[in-house]
Amino acid sequence: MASALRLQVHGAPDDAALAGWREVEDEFATTEAALSRFLPDSELTIVNREAGRGVPRPVGERLYRAVATADRARRTTGGRFDARVLAALERLGDAGTPLPAAGGVKRGSFRRPRGRLIALDRAYDLGGIGKGLALRWAWRRLATLRTVASGVLLEAGGDLVVGGRPETAQTWSIGVEDPTGGPSPVAVIVPGEGAVCTSSVARRAWWSPGGLPVHHLIDPASGLPGGGGLLSVTVASGDPAWAEVWSKALFLAGPRGIGDLARGRGLAAWWVDLEGGLAMTPAARQRTAWTADQG
């Protein structure tokens, strides 16, 4: 999933930590084989090739659950989060495994739990939510390790889940990266038990075939990069998949809409604008230990 993995364990025997690491590696490898749009033989690629044809196909549990979660996220966020943006990403130059050209009459989506059958109306990109789900599933597989450790942190490319506490502190302290490239975090937060995920344009940004600067956070309504005026959004939540969903949905709300949406949902959210200014919700302020403007 193009993410470096890190497992930090406190207060557990080495063999337990090593066994936990093997569980994490296995979960991410298995999830990538199911959900990656960059692997030509992944389950998602196979289903994406048939998108719009209306022919249900049986799939594995991970892909079925990922599509179901993505569809629920689209409804919950009022369409701001929508995994069906792969065509837009490819048009802008973020290509994965080649897919057949769209054509003819498109049929709608179909999903049936019995037999885990799905047919997609459009090709899906499950990158962000897929990483959140991989963190969720790997965290569950660490249940045994978490019973013998005083604290565990699992990170995938900057998104993470924490439980317990480190041996040298009462709580986990997590830095929110400065998306302008500064060497210090813009804030240090205390998430408690749960996940911290960020959507940012600091890394996945490039020049489109037409010579325009673009990024991967696509507004489903326009098919173009959204969130103009924001550089990053961080969300703390009990679940990493939903932290991923809301960090993207809030980013796409833009600087004018993010505050009302985040506060209305009671989310702990932090965001950085083009000038490097940091804002946050009341729920986030309760989890903030330090900000850069405090010195």
- Residue 27, domain member (yes or no): no
Do 101 and 197 reside in the same domain of the chain? no
- Residue 202, domain member (yes or no): yes
63 near 35, Cβ under 8 Å? yes
- Residue 45, domain member (yes or no): yes
* Phi-psi category of residue 181: left, alpha or beta, with phi > 0 → left and psi -120 to 50 → alpha: left
Task: Name the DSSP class of 293.
Answer: G
Mind listing the pLDDT tens digit of every residue in the chain (295 residues)?
Answer: 778 999 999 999 999 999 999 999 999 999 999 999 999 999 999 999 999 999 999 999 999 999 999 999 999 999 999 999 999 999 999 999 999 887 656 788 999 999 999 999 999 999 999 999 999 999 999 999 999 999 999 999 999 999 999 998 999 999 999 999 999 999 999 999 999 999 999 989 999 999 999 999 999 999 999 999 999 999 999 999 999 999 999 999 999 999 999 999 999 999 999 999 999 999 999 999 999 987 6
Do 182 and 288 reside in the same domain of the chain? yes
Which residue segment(s) compose the domain that 48 sits in? 38-125
The residue behind tokens 């033989």 is 41
Burial 188-212 (b: 16+ CB within 10 A, else e): bbbbeebbbbbbbbbebeeeeeeee
pLDDT the model gives residue 157: 94
**Could you give the number of structural domains in the chain?**
2
- Residue 157, domain member (yes or no): no
Please tell me the total number of residues recorded for the chain in this structure. Answer: 295
- Residue 106, domain member (yes or no): yes
Do 97 and 191 reside in the same domain of the chain? no
Which of 160, 231, 253, 247 lies closest to 198, judged by CA?
Answer: 247
pLDDT the model gives residue 7: 98
Q: The pTM is what?
A: 0.96
pLDDT the model gives residue 104: 59
Do 177 and 118 reside in the same domain of the chain? no
- Residue 21, domain member (yes or no): no
Strand order in the sheet with 5-10: 5-10, 151-156, 159-164, 194-200, 230-237, 268-273, 278-280
**Residue 246 to residues 46, 181, 196, 235, 268: CA-CA distances in angstroms?**
28, 23, 11, 7, 10
Do 199 and 286 reside in the same domain of the chain? yes
Do 108 and 51 reside in the same domain of the chain? yes
pLDDT the model gives residue 147: 97
Which distant-in-sequence residues (6+ apart) come within 8 Å of 248 by Cβ? Answer: 80, 81, 128, 199, 217, 233
Do 110 and 195 reside in the same domain of the chain? no
Report the CATH number that the domain containing residue 56 is assigned in CATH: 1.10.3980
Do 223 and 283 reside in the same domain of the chain? yes
Both tokens of 273, joined, read: 């604008």
CA angle 60, 161, 268 (to 5 degrees): 110
- Select from 125, 140, 158 the last residue of a domain: 125
- Residue 85, domain member (yes or no): yes
pLDDT the model gives residue 121: 95
Within a 10 A sphere around the Cβ of 14, how many other Cβ atoms? 8
- Select from 69, 90, 125 the last residue of a domain: 125
pLDDT the model gives residue 107: 85
pLDDT the model gives residue 108: 85
Do 113 and 205 reside in the same domain of the chain? no
- Select from 93, 125, 157 the last residue of a domain: 125
Which distant-in-sequence residues (6+ apart) come within 8 Å of 246 by Cβ? Answer: 77, 235, 237, 262, 265, 267, 269
Do 89 and 191 reside in the same domain of the chain? no
Report the CATH number that the domain containing residue 214 is assigned in CATH: 3.10.520.10
Do 177 and 103 reside in the same domain of the chain? no
pLDDT the model gives residue 253: 98
